[in-house]
């Protein structure tokens, strides 16, 4: 049996909630870590898939986490508080 998806990303393995949480926490601790740049891309894939699946609460939560990570990465010298406020929402809504 073959299953065709309109979005080729769906056929890929997406990160699960615990992987997202672990990697996001790693990034908040060390923003220079290579894990962070890969996580930005993985989160982008997840939010696109969740949008296509009409799982908007999950999509919004993932977008919020992605925003926090990008903000922490690019404004790391300005902001000292990098805690991942959106992580509980990703865990709850996805």
59 CB burial (10 A radius; 0-12, 13-18, 19+)? buried
pLDDT for res 79: 57
Place of tokens 């986490």: 65
Q: How far is the C-alpha of 72 from the C-alpha of 37, rounded, in Å?
A: 12
What pLDDT does 64 receive? 92
Give domain status of residue 58, yes or no.
yes
Specify if 4 maps to a domain.
Answer: no
Q: Print the domain residue range for 73.
A: 16-93
In a domain, 9, yes or no: no
Evaluate whether residue 11 is within a structural domain.
Answer: no
pTM score, whole prediction: 0.76
Give pLDDT tens digits along the chain (94 positions). Answer: 333 345 554 456 888 989 999 999 888 888 776 778 888 889 999 989 999 999 999 999 999 999 888 888 877 666 555 677 888 999 899 8
Question: Does 1 fall in a domain?
Answer: no
Report pLDDT for 3. 38
Number of domains in the chain: 1
């Amino acid at each position: 049996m073959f299953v065709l998806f309109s979005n080729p990303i769906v056929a890929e393995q997406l990160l699960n909630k615990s992987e997202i949480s672990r990697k996001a926490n790693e990034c908040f601790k060390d923003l220079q870590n290579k894990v962070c740049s890969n996580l930005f891309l993985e989160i982008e894939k997840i939010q696109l898939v969740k949008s296509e699946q009409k799982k908007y609460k999950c999509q919004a939560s993932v977008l919020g986490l992605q925003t926090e990570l990008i903000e922490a990465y690019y404004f790391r010298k300005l902001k000292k508080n990098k805690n991942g406020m959106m992580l509980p929402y990703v865990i709850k809504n996805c």
